[in-house]
Chain A
Amino acid sequence: MTTPTTFKPVSAPRPGENSTLWLIKIATGPVLVLVLILHFTVNHYLGSMSSGLMTYDDVIQYFQNPIIPAIEILFLITVVSHCLIGLRGIILDLNPSRSVLNITTWALVILGVSSVVYGIWLALTIASKSV
């Protein structure tokens, strides 16, 4: 008996769908853990408000050290990449059609790039202010 022609191919390789995104997610994860330890300690523990959050002056002071905007921008790029690759993975689990998946991918790329551009502008704006 021959295989019915209505059968779709099983697990066919597709361009762009391989280990790359998974590896980026896996590589950004530990970076995020390290940066988050710093982020939470500074922003939610050492701040001068009673809850440990930072006041406006705390933030401006903190950003005076040039390494801080650099770390925050690294944090932004890794967190946005990790987050949106993860979100795409969840959407992939919803078994979207090829065209919906393509639109989703581009929407996520645009969202990611614009978030990073906005975030870099914000970090540099804060760094340029003085106490």
Chain B
Amino acid sequence: MNNQPSANKFWAWFNPMGRQVGGWAFILNRITALGLTFYLFLHLIVLNQLAQGPAAYGGFIALTENPIVKLGELLVVAAAIMHGLNGIRIIFTSFGIGVTRQKELFYGFMVVALVAILFFAARMYMG
């Protein structure tokens, strides 16, 4: 037989088709979780440059002027903001606060996230 739950169906976590607001929030949270986990360890390894002195760190930090690296940095900031705000929504609802208003909470937090992301993007790109 088929169609039963299976680990091979992990792609279903990320499929937005046939999902609704809460499902999209779940997808966003899971993607940002995986992305931020990967970034955290990359970040820790790269920061070793600080221990090696100004030349090593200076050479590395100059890479952030590259537009693609800069976009990556913005994506990390955006992912952390969205994951953090959505996490607060999950904490609220987990303790019964706004549980019947979870859609509105999600939209509200994502508006806040957008403003915060634009705030950092403006600093990164416009000085």
Taking a contact as CB atoms under 8 Å apart, the answer to whether B87 and A33 are in contact is: yes
Taking a contact as CB atoms under 8 Å apart, the answer to whether B84 and A32 are in contact is: yes
**Size class of the B contact interface (CB-based, 8 Å):** 35 or more
Taking a contact as CB atoms under 8 Å apart, the answer to whether B124 and A44 are in contact is: yes
Q: A21 at the A/B interface (Cβ < 8 Å)?
A: no
Chain B: minimal CB distance from A32 (Å): 7
Do A86 and B33 contact each other (CB < 8 Å), given the known contacts A33-B84, A51-B70?
A: yes
Taking a contact as CB atoms under 8 Å apart, the answer to whether B87 and A29 are in contact is: yes
Residue on A nearest B36 in the bound complex, by CB: A83
Chain A: minimal CB distance from B1 (Å): 16
Chain A: minimal CB distance from B43 (Å): 10
Partner of B88, one of A29, A59, A93, A94: A29
**Residues of B with C-beta under 8 A to A29:** 84, 87-88, 91
Residue on A nearest B124 in the bound complex, by CB: A51
Secondary structure at the B interface, as helix, strand, loop or mixed, is: helix
Q: B114 at the A/B interface (Cβ < 8 Å)?
A: no
**Residues of B with C-beta under 8 A to A122:** 44, 47-48, 50-51
**Residues of B with C-beta under 8 A to A49:** 61, 64
Q: A26 at the A/B interface (Cβ < 8 Å)?
A: yes
Chain B: minimal CB distance from A61 (Å): 12
**Residues of B with C-beta under 8 A to A80:** 40
Partner of B84, one of A36, A55, A56, A86: A36
Do A55 and B123 contact each other (CB < 8 Å), given the known contacts A33-B84, A40-B77, A83-B40?
A: no
9 closest Cβ contacts across the A-B interface? A56-B54, A94-B7, A52-B123, A56-B57, A33-B84, A29-B87, A125-B51, A51-B124, A83-B37
Instruction: Point out residues on B near A: beta carbons under 8 Å.
Output: 5-7, 10, 13, 30, 33-34, 36-37, 40-41, 44, 47-48, 50-51, 53-54, 57-58, 61, 64-65, 70, 73, 77, 80, 84-85, 87-88, 91, 94, 120, 123-125, 127
25 contacts between A and B (CB under 8 A): A29-B88, A33-B84, A33-B85, A33-B88, A40-B80, A44-B123, A45-B123, A50-B65, A51-B65, A51-B124, A52-B120, A52-B123, A53-B64, A56-B61, A57-B54, A59-B50, A83-B37, A86-B33, A87-B37, A90-B34, A93-B10, A95-B7, A115-B44, A122-B50, A122-B51
